[in-house]
Structure 1
Amino acid sequence: MPAVPYRLIRNLMLAAGILYCSLLLEVAAGFPLDVHASFLSELGARDQSTSPYARAMDFSSSALVLIAVVLARQAGRRNRQLAGLLISTAVFAAGTMSDSFSPMECAPSASAACRAAESSGHAGLAYTLHEATSTIAGAGTIAMGVFALLVLRRFGWGGWLGKGVAALAAAVVITQVWLGSVLAFETLGGGEVAAPGILQRVSTILVCLFLATLLPGLRHALSRWP
Structure 2
Amino acid sequence: MMAVPARFQYRLMRDVMVAAGVLYCSLLLEAAAGFPLNIRYSFLSELGAKDQPTSPYARAMDLGSGVLLVLAAILGRPAARMHRDVSGLLISAAVLGIGTMSDALSPMDCAPSLSQACHDAEESGQTGAALVLHEVTSTMAGLGSVAMGIFAVLVLRRLGWGGLLAKAIAVLAAGVAITQAWLGVETGVEVLTGNDLHPPGILQRISVLLVCLLMATLLPGLRQAFIR
TM-score range, shorter chain: over 0.9
Distance in structure 2 (CA, Å) of the matches to 1:86 and 1:32: 34
Report the counterpart of residue 157 of structure 1 in structure 2: 161
For the pair 1:137 / 2:147, whether they are aligned, the reply is no
Amino acid at match of 1:61: S
Aligned partner (choices 3, 10, 27) of residue 14 of structure 2: 10
Amino acid at match of 2:218: L
For the pair 1:84 / 2:88, whether they are aligned, the reply is yes
Amino acid at match of 1:25: L
For the aligned residue pairs, the C-alpha RMSD in angstroms reads 1.4
Report the counterpart of residue 122 of structure 1 in structure 2: 126
Unaligned runs of 5+ in 1: none
Over 3 Å counting, the alpha-carbon distance change for 1:103 and 1:37 in structure 2 is same
In the TM superposition, what are the counterparts of 1:66-105 in structure 2 within 5 Å?
66-105=70-109
Report the counterpart of residue 208 of structure 1 in structure 2: 212
In the TM superposition, what are the counterparts of 1:156-195 in structure 2 within 5 Å?
156-192=160-196, 195=199
Residue-pair matches, total: 224
CA contact (8 A) 1:15 1:61 kept: yes
Amino acid at match of 1:89: A
Amino acid at match of 1:84: G
Report the counterpart of residue 23 of structure 1 in structure 2: 27
Give deviations 1:4-60, integer Å, cap 9, x for gaps. Answer: 411111111111111100000000000111001100000000000000000000000
Distance in structure 1 (CA, Å) of the matches to 2:223 and 2:161: 10
CA contact (8 A) 2:5 2:226 kept: no
CA contact (8 A) 2:76 2:226 kept: no
Deviation of 1:135 after TM superposition, in Å, equals 0.1
- TM (normalized to structure 1)? 0.95
Amino acid at match of 2:195: G
CA contact (8 A) 1:88 1:143 kept: yes
Unaligned runs of 5+ in 2: none
Distance in structure 2 (CA, Å) of the matches to 1:109 and 1:3: 45
CA contact (8 A) 2:79 2:225 kept: no
For the pair 1:107 / 2:106, whether they are aligned, the reply is no
Amino acid at match of 1:76: A
CA contact (8 A) 1:119 1:192 kept: no
CA contact (8 A) 2:49 2:109 kept: yes
Distance in structure 1 (CA, Å) of the matches to 2:198 and 2:104: 23
The percent identity for this pair of structures is 61
Amino acid at match of 2:69: V
Aligned partner (choices 69, 86, 94) of residue 65 of structure 1: 69
Deviation of 1:188 after TM superposition, in Å, equals 1.8
Deviation of 1:190 after TM superposition, in Å, equals 2.2
Deviation of 1:220 after TM superposition, in Å, equals 3.6
CA contact (8 A) 1:16 1:64 kept: yes
Distance in structure 2 (CA, Å) of the matches to 1:158 and 1:11: 23
Q: Helix, strand or coil for the counterpart of 1:31?
A: coil
For the pair 1:36 / 2:40, whether they are aligned, the reply is yes
CA contact (8 A) 1:76 1:83 kept: yes
CA contact (8 A) 1:156 1:220 kept: no
